[in-house]
């Protein structure tokens, strides 16, 4: 999970820095929710939670559209080409060879599809948990004070969200990031990294990169600056 990154070998490695920053933000929100068990206002927790949620939603949206989407298209194209090649070969080589080659190609397809499906399912799961907690907090803000029982509920929901987030980052780093490195060229990786860090649709397009930098060590902030200079 949190890796000791001293350089970005590839632009997509910025994902490790972003995940590290989001982990720090989520642990801080969780600690605030734990403190709230002893009393205090809900608003500071809600503000911190909103920022965490805003990051996760934007991050997942960009990944779905500009990382998993293009990867799935590349995989489908590869697959089509592979099947066409197999059909030609099947006519010229033994049936046994064609069958085993086809089986191999199929195995690879299933495994790639499973990776993309997992990425999208986990994004939807994070989305669902975020909305649920947001509703809980909104409801509680409408009342003068949050009951002990409800505080416990909010806390346990936040812990569950944080665990789902950690699992997701781990899966993405294991199953998806290596594919990006393998299939995207340098320019495509730089474009994806820029979209993850800079929000062109916001009044402050730097809200992500600035907030991520705040969570990183000075050395890692330097890596972020070097990467940004290449955008
Ligand atoms: Fe990510
Ligand atoms: Fe993701």
φ/ψ (deg, to 5) at 195 = -65, -35
pLDDT on residue 102 = 47
Centre of ligand 2 to C-alpha 11, Å, is 16
pLDDT on residue 149 = 84
Pairwise CA distance, residues 59 & 196, whole Å: 6
Centre of ligand 1 to C-alpha 79, Å, is 25
pLDDT on residue 151 = 87
Centre of ligand 2 to C-alpha 212, Å, is 16
In tens, the pLDDT along 63-113 reads 999 999 998 888 778 766 666 555 544 444 344 334 444 444 443 443 777
127: which DSSP letter? H
In tens, the pLDDT along 111-164 reads 777 788 888 899 999 999 999 999 988 887 666 566 788 889 999 999 999 999
pLDDT on residue 109 = 43
* Position 158 in a domain: yes
Range of the domain at 15: 11-228
Q: Considering only CA atoms, which of 175, 57, 61 is closest in space to residue 116?
A: 175
- pTM reported for the whole predicted model: 0.84
Pairwise CA distance, residues 25 & 114, whole Å: 29
* Position 6 in a domain: no
- Report the CATH number that the domain containing residue 62 is assigned in CATH: 1.20.120
Is the pLDDT score of 166 beyond 80? yes
Centre of ligand 1 to C-alpha 153, Å, is 27
Centre of ligand 2 to C-alpha 38, Å, is 34
Could you give the number of structural domains in the chain?
1
Pairwise CA distance, residues 231 & 227, whole Å: 7
* Position 4 in a domain: no
Spacing of C-alpha 108 from chain mean position: 23
Ligand closest to Cα of 119 equals: 2
Pairwise CA distance, residues 148 & 40, whole Å: 11
Centre of ligand 2 to C-alpha 123, Å, is 6
Count other Cβ atoms within 10 Å, centred on residue 112: 19
Is the pLDDT score of 195 beyond 80? yes
H or E, element range at 40: none
Is the pLDDT score of 62 beyond 90? yes
H or E, element range at 143: none
pLDDT on residue 148 = 81
* Position 71 in a domain: yes
> Which stretch of 21-30, 73-82, 121-130, 183-192 has the lowest confidence by average pLDDT?
73-82
* Position 1 in a domain: no
CB 140 within 8 A of CB 150: yes
Residue 89: CB partners within 8 Å, gap ≥ 6?
Answer: 97, 98, 101
pLDDT on residue 212 = 98
pLDDT on residue 196 = 98
* Position 61 in a domain: yes
* Position 119 in a domain: yes
Ligand closest to Cα of 168 equals: 2
Centre of ligand 2 to C-alpha 53, Å, is 13
38: which DSSP letter? G
Residues making up the chain, counted from first to last: 231
In tens, the pLDDT along 168-180 reads 999 999 889 999 9
State the Cα torsion 181-187-193-194 to the nearest 10°: 180
Tell me which of 45 and 95 has the higher pLDDT: 45
Centre of ligand 1 to C-alpha 26, Å, is 14
Is the pLDDT score of 202 beyond 80? yes
Pairwise CA distance, residues 113 & 110, whole Å: 5
* Position 26 in a domain: yes
Ligand closest to Cα of 22 equals: 1
Q: Considering only CA atoms, which of 164, 198, 196, 166 is closest in space to residue 180?
A: 196
Count other Cβ atoms within 10 Å, centred on residue 20: 20
């Amino acid at each position: 999970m949190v890796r000791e990154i001293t350089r970005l070998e590839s632009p997509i490695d910025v994902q490790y820095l972003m995940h590290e920053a989001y982990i720090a933000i989520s642990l801080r929100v969780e600690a605030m929710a734990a403190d709230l068990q002893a009393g205090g206002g809900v608003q500071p927790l809600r503000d911190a939670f909103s920022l965490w949620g805003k990051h996760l939603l934007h991050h997942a949206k960009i990944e779905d559209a500009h990382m998993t989407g293009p990867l799935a298209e590349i995989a489908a194209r590869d697959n089509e080409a592979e099947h066409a090649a197999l059909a030609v070969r099947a006519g010229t080589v033994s049936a046994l060879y064609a069958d085993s080659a086809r089986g191999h190609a199929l195995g690879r397809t299933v495994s790639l599809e499973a990776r993309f499906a997992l990425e999208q399912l986990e994004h939807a799961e994070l989305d669902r948990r975020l909305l649920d907690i947001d509703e809980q907090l909104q409801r509680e803000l409408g009342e003068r004070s949050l009951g002990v029982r409800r505080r416990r509920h909010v806390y346990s929901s936040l812990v569950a969200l944080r665990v789902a987030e950690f699992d997701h980052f781990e899966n993405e780093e294991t199953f998806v990031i290596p594919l990006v490195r393998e299939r995207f060229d340098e320019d495509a990786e730089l474009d994806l990294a820029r979209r993850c860090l800079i929000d062109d649709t916001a009044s402050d397009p730097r809200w992500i990169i600035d907030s991520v930098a705040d969570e990183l060590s000075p050395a890692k902030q330097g890596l972020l600056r070097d990467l940004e200079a290449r955008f």
